[in-house]
Amino acid sequence: MLATAAPAADGVPTDGEHWAYEVKWDGMRVLADVHDGRLALRSRTGRDVSATFPELTALTRAHADVHLDGEVVALHDGLPSFAALADRMHVTDARAAARAAARTPVTLMAFDVLRLYGVDLVDRPWQERRESLDRLVPSGRAWQVSPVYPDAASLLAATREQGLEGVVAKRRTSTYQPGRRSPDWVKHAHRRHQACLVVGWRPVVGAGARMGALLLAVPAAGGGLRYVGRAGSGLGAGAEEELRAALTGCERPRPVVEVPRADAAGATFTEPVVVVEVRHLGRTTGGRLRQPTLRGLRNDLAPSDVREE
């Protein structure tokens, strides 16, 4: 179940009697399914990421049968760091994942429970599911229950002051709707982020084949794609290595979307199959992102998951 964006700044519903409020965590959405002593972790796209986060197997020692929805976060100085998490999201080798877990441990911030002790809870109201979740005992650092707050304005102010991602409002009577983007969950982000499709890249001037900037697009309202600019800031050596691996075999002779001549000059064009996330300062009147900065590769998202935020 996915949240819809608030229609205006700080525009989450404020009726605390019918809505509850949680922190919007800056991490990777996963479903954690514990059954028969095993943990299966799946991303939003259904990809099995169990091997990526071996420290979360502690869930199996805490509960015999539970299906949790939550966000995997990597904490840096007490705050979630997407950059730190991005270094782990692509790791699939068991030994490399164990080393990464020792270096940058993660925590599952659980905010919903879909099954408990063999009982399916998806058709139960959010309030009932939440009460079941609150009765579970978190297993040390491996997972925590994301707190719930009764007042939207206070949480919006606190999360903004602490540099947290934002707030999600949830209707107390809502059932869980797997895979759907529902108006029963409403999100507000303090910082502007956008998942984008990579449609090409430009080299660093005078540096041969080194990547200097990514050419980005998002789905257009009437279908197809719309070019939203190029992002070079944040494209370090580690990110370039991941991107080159992801884009191998995806080159095409012409761009899949109309790219301005100034941006297209010297570019290598690619199929729109790789998703990245950028931080930006808004949009120009022409719809381009202002000063986009690459945050990382989003291999937990499929191209069909990308939409203009």
DSSP 233: B
pLDDT higher than 60, residue 308? yes
What's the CA dihedral at 248, 253, 258, 263 to 10 degrees? 70
Rounded distance, CA 30 to CA 179, Å? 12
Query: What tokens appear for 135 in the block?
Result: 């009765």
Residue 232 · residue 243 · CB < 8 Å: no
Q: Which amino acid is at 174?
A: S
Which of 31, 82, 76, 72 is CA-nearest to residue 189? 82
Strand duo 275-279 + 193-203: pairing: antiparallel
Structure token pair of residue 121: 């809870």
Which tens digit of pLDDT belongs to each residue from 51-110? 999 999 989 888 889 999 999 999 877 788 887 888 788 888 899 999 999 999 999 999
> What does the alpha-carbon distance between residue 106 and residue 233 come to, in Å, rounded to a whole number?
26
Which H helix or E strand runs over 295? strand 293-297
Closest CA to 240 of 210, 215, 266, 217: 210
User: Domain boundaries in the chain?
Assistant: 1-24+161-191, 26-145, 193-305
**Cα-based distances in Å from 141 to 26, 99, 302:** 17, 17, 29
List of residues 6+ apart from 122 with CB closer than 8 A: 114, 115, 175, 176, 178
* Per-residue pLDDT tens digits for 242-298: 899 899 999 999 999 999 999 998 899 999 999 999 988 788 888 899 888 898 889
Task: Tell me how far apart the alpha carbons of residues 45 and 49 are, in angstroms, rounded to a whole number.
Answer: 11
Quick count: other Cβ atoms within 10 Å of Cβ 59? 22
Percent with pLDDT over 70 in the chain: 97
Specify whether domain 26-145 bears CATH 3.30.470.30: yes
Mean pLDDT value of segment 179-208: 87
Whole-angstrom distance, CA of residue 14 vs CA of residue 163 = 21
| Cβ pair 49, 84 in contact under 8 A | no
Tokens 């991005």 locate to: 86
Tell me 12's DSSP state: S
pTM score, whole prediction: 0.78
State the distance between the two ends of the chain, measured CA to CA, in whole angstroms: 17
Domain 193-305 is of which CATH architecture?
A: Beta Barrel (2.40)
- Torsion angle of alpha carbons 30, 34, 38, 44, nearest 10°? -20
The CA distance from 298 to 271, in Å, is 16
DSSP class of residue 283? Answer: B
pLDDT bin (cut points 50, 70, 90) of residue 206 is low
Vertex 306 angle, CA 302 and 309, to 5°: 155
Could you give the residue numbers annotated as active site? 24
What is the third-level CATH fold of 1-24+161-191?
Answer: Dna Ligase; domain 1 (3.30.1490)
Q: 128 with 173: CB under 8 angstroms?
A: no
Residue 235 has pLDDT above 60, yes or no: yes
